[in-house]
């Protein structure tokens, strides 16, 4: 069983889409652990605020199968295939970590944005504070503690979901 960490984000009806994604993730994966949900301003474009979170889960699927499952969930919830990278979205699911694998194919792991996006690092530090980043060899809590908090503004928000 592989331990995976997933970044979820949405800025189009974000609460509804995060809840729908969690229901789908609960169907496809095991042992979901949820971070808090954080609201943040859009990064890279002018748009409405995002809701973001990180989910830890377990799976027997390969990396490629996990990514394919995420793409299907995104499309099922209105994500337009081939849409611009920096644009509003109903749902964005990204595989951050797959065990401690470091790879460039079929995707880059660990995902680079872990180190520079507060909306990824803070919730990841919540669900896996003592886990070590497989490249920089520091815990996610240490990385968050040392993160320049002036770079990006985000704050926890109330969010309730149950499987």
**Catalytically annotated residues:** 79, 89, 92, 94
Counts of helices then strands in the chain (DSSP H, E): 4, 6
CA distance linking residue 157 with residue 163, whole number of Å? 19
The burial of 48, by beta-carbon neighbours within 10 Å (0-12 exposed, 13-18 middle, 19 or more buried), is given as: exposed
Pair of tokens at residue 142: 């240490």
CA distance linking residue 56 with residue 7, whole number of Å? 9
SS3 category, 12: coil
For residue 49, give Cα distances in angstroms to 52, 82, 83: 10, 22, 18
């Amino acid at each position: 069983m592989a331990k995976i960490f997933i970044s979820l984000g949405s800025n189009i009806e974000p609460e509804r889409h995060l809840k729908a994604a969690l229901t789908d993730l609960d169907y496809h994966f095991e042992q979901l652990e949820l971070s808090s949900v954080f609201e943040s301003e859009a990064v890279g474009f002018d748009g409405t605020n995002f809701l973001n979170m990180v989910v830890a889960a377990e799976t027997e699927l390969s990396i490629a199968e996990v990514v394919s499952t995420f793409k299907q969930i995104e499309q099922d919830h209105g994500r337009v295939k081939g849409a611009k990278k920096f644009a509003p979205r109903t749902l964005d699911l990204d595989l951050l970590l797959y065990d401690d694998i470091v790879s460039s194919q079929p995707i880059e792991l660990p995902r680079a944005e872990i180190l520079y996006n507060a909306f990824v690092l803070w919730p990841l530090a919540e669900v896996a504070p003592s886990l070590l980043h497989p490249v920089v060899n520091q815990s996610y809590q240490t990385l968050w503690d040392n993160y320049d908090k002036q770079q990006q503004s985000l704050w926890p928000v109330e969010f309730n979901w149950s499987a």
